[in-house]
Amino acid sequence: MFAAALIVLVPISALFLRSAGLTWDQFIAAAFSPRVMASYRLSFGGALIAAVFNVIAGLIVAWVLVRYDFPFRKLVDALVDLPFALPTAVAGVALTALYAPKGVLGKALLSIGIKAAFTPLGVVLAMIFIGLPFVVRTVQPVLQDLEDEHEEAAVSLGADRWQVFTYVILPSILPALVTGFALAFARALGEYGSVIFIAGNMPGVSEIAPLMIVTKLEQYDYAGASAIATVMLVAAFAMLLVINSAQKWHQTRLAGR
Number of residues that make up the chain = 257
User: What is the rounded distance in angstroms from the CA atom of residue 113 to the CA atom of residue 226?
Assistant: 40
Domains along the sequence of the chain with CATH: 32-256 (1.10.3720.10)
Helix axes 209-218, 34-67, angle to 10 degrees: 130
In b/e form, how buried is each residue of 22-53, taking b as 16+ CB within 10 angstroms? beeeebeebbeeeebebbbebbbebbbbbbeb
User: What is the rounded distance in angstroms from the CA atom of residue 6 to the CA atom of residue 16?
Assistant: 15
Question: Which of 52, 49, 46 shows the shortest CA–CA distance to 208?
Answer: 46
Cα-atom radius of gyration of the chain, to the nearest Å? 21
| Predicted local distance difference test score (pLDDT) of residue 250 | 62
pLDDT in tens, the chain (257 residues): 777 777 777 777 777 777 777 788 888 888 899 999 999 999 999 999 999 999 999 999 999 998 888 888 889 888 898 888 888 888 888 888 889 888 888 888 888 888 888 889 999 999 999 999 999 999 999 888 887 777 777 777 777 788 888 888 888 888 889 889 988 998 898 888 888 888 888 888 888 999 898 888 888 888 888 888 888 888 888 877 877 777 677 667 656 55
| Predicted local distance difference test score (pLDDT) of residue 179 | 87
Q: What's the helix, strand, coil split of the chain in %, to 5?
A: 80, 0, 20
| Predicted local distance difference test score (pLDDT) of residue 257 | 56
| Predicted local distance difference test score (pLDDT) of residue 46 | 93
The greatest distance separating any two alpha carbons of the chain, rounded to the nearest whole angstrom, comes to 68
Kindly tell me the sign of the dihedral angle through the C-alpha atoms of 29, 30, 34, 38: negative
User: What is the rounded distance in angstroms from the CA atom of residue 130 to the CA atom of residue 196?
Assistant: 13
